[in-house]
Structure 1
Amino acid sequence: MNKRIANNLERRAQFALFVTSYLPLFILIIFKQIYTNLSFLNYGDFDLVSINLFIEKFGLSIILSFVSIYGYYGAMKTLNNIHKSSENGFPVKITDIKNKNSESIGYIATYIIPFAFQNFDNWLELISVCFIIYIIYRVYINSSLLLINPVLNLKYSIFEFEFEENKKLKNGILISKNNELQEDDLVKLYSIGNKMYYSKKIKK
C-alpha cells in the first residue's frame, strides 16, 4: 500500500501565513492608532510614566509592524519554496472541484472587520486583542483556514476538490495559481498538510 506522508509546514511558515491573512487588519490598526494618538508624539521626560504612555499609545503599532514585515517576508519565502518543491508532487486527475475563494470574504467579515472598530489605546484593550488573535491563531494552524487567506487570494485561488488515487476517491483543499481548474484537469499535487495541497496544472 502506497502511503503518502504530508509535508506539514513548519510552525514559522504557519505563523507567517497566519500573519498575512490578518495583514489588512494589522495595517489598519497601525494607521488608526498612530493617527489617533499623533498629539502624544512629542518629546517629554524619559521616565516610567512616559514609557508606559508610549507603550499604551503606540506599543501595538510597533509590535504589529515587526510582525507584519516578518509575516509577509516569511509567507513569500514559504510559497516560493512550496512552488519549487511542487515539482516533486504526484500527478492526479481532478474528478470534482469547487472554487472556495468566497471563503476569504467571510474570513474578512467574521474575523477582521470587528477588530477595525476597536480602540487600541490602553493596556486592557491591547492585551484583549492579543489574546483573541492568539486563540484564532491556534485554531487557524490546525484547520483548513491555513489556506483561507484574503491576501494570498490576490495571486492564488482556493478550491475544494476530489481526485482519484490508487482507484480510491479522495478529497481536500488546494491552492493554485491557476484560477480556472476544472473537472478532468490533470494536476500535480504537493501535500502541505492534512488534506491540503499546492497544485500545478499539467499541460496536456
Structure 2
Amino acid sequence: MRDVDEKLHQAIRMKDLGAVGDALALGASPDAAWSLSWGTMVAHAAMSGTAEVLARLLKAGGSPDRIEGVLPAPLDMAMRSTLEWRAKARLLLDAGASPDGVSALTNAAQKVDQHAVEAVKLLLDAGADPDRVEPGSHWTALTCAVCSENAPLAALLVDHGARADVPIRFDTVQAQLTRGMTAWHIGLACAAWP
C-alpha cells in the first residue's frame, strides 16, 4: 500500500474527516485496497468509518460497488456495520450500489431485532432480489429470518415475493446432509432443536 493510501486508511479508522480530506488531497485513492484481502477504502469506511467519511470518499470518486480482495461489496459491509448503517447504506444506494451486493440481504437479515426488518426493507425497496442465495453460506434472507425466529422479517420477505422453496445450496462435504433443504426445512429443524 502506498504511504498516502495508508494515511487514508488510518484517517478512516480514526473517523477523522479532516485527515481523510488531507489524504485525498495528497492523491490517496478511495478505491485503493486497504490490505491484500480486505477491500477498498470505500468498503472500509462502509464498515468502520462514519457516514460523513463515506460520503467524502464517494464524492472523491470512490466506487459504491467495487470489490477488492476477499471482502464483499461496500453495501455488504454497511449492512454488517453497527455505526450509522442506515445512513451509510442510503449513501451507497444513492451512489448507485447494487441492492443485491454479494451478501447484503443476508447481512441485513442477521441484524438484531427490528433492525433486521428495517435493513431488509431498505434493500427490498431498492430492488434487491428476495430470493438471492448468498455465496459461501448459501442461505437466503428468508432462511436467516426463519432460523432466528423473526416472524416480522419472514412476513416482510414473503410479502416481497420470497419463496420458502428456494433450495439452500451447500458445497462443503460437511454440509452434504442439508443439500436440497429449503427455508421451510430449516425452519422445522430450528423449531425442533432443543
Q: What TM-score, normalized to structure 1?
A: 0.26
Q: Name the one with the larger strand percent.
A: 1
Higher RCO, 1 vs 2 (CA within 8 Å, ≥6 residues apart): 1
Rg: which structure is higher?
1
